[in-house]
């Protein structure tokens, strides 16, 4: 019941978290808010998958030199943290834009995640090649 009036049909102003999102503008169409939430959850799933890749790289005995394997795992772990942070930032920015009836924010730092994943893969390929050669 916290955050709604006694009838449960309208939010009490100032009681929803995060306040910097919910204290501005007007309530948008629920379909758009729910679509924004689904996008947030998709980014969280991506973050969990990247973290699973990092853990697998450390746990499995791969034909990659240890230092390169560790470096690749750290890049995937960093990408995981970045994806989770991006999920929150993008959700809040989009929700504020919906509430204020402004244009939606662009991809922004999301492109950096692509670079981190590509670097992680490159490090693993280099480690694999060096292990085969040496």
Residue 119 forms part of a structural domain? yes
The pLDDT value given to residue 78: 95
Percentage of the residues of the chain whose pLDDT score is greater than 90? 66
pTM: 0.81
20-49 per-position pLDDT tens digit: 888 999 999 999 999 999 999 999 999 999
- Count how many domains the chain has: 1
In a domain, 7, yes or no: no
User: Does residue 17 sit within a domain?
Assistant: no
More confident residue, 109 or 73: 73
Within-domain flag for 128? yes
Domain hosting 47: range is 30-133
Tell me what pLDDT residue 109 has: 77
Task: Decide if 12 is inside a domain.
Answer: no
Query: Does residue 8 belong to any structural domain of this protein?
Result: no
Establish how many alpha carbons lie within 13 A of residue 75's alpha carbon, considering only the half-sphere containing its beta carbon: 19
Beta strands in 45-121 (DSSP E): none
- Alpha-carbon span 38 to 55, nearest angstrom: 26
Q: 90 near 35, Cβ under 8 Å?
A: no
> Tell me: the pLDDT tens digits for 44-78?
999 999 999 999 999 999 898 889 999 999 999 99
């Amino acid at each position: 019941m916290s955050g709604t009036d006694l009838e449960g049909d309208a939010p009490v102003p100032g009681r929803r978290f995060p306040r910097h999102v919910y204290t501005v503008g007007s309530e948008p169409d629920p379909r758009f808010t729910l679509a924004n939430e689904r996008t947030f959850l998709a980014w969280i799933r991506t973050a969990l998958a990247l973290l699973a890749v990092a853990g697998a790289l450390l746990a499995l005995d791969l034909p990659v030199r240890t230092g390169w394997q560790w470096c690749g795992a750290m890049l995937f772990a960093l990408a995981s943290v970045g994806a989770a942070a991006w999920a929150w930032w993008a959700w809040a920015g989009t929700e504020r834009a919906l509430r204020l009836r402004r244009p939606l924010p662009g991809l922004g730092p999301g492109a950096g995640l692509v670079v981190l994943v590509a670097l992680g893969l490159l490090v693993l390929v280099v480690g694999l090649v060096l292990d085969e050669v040496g």
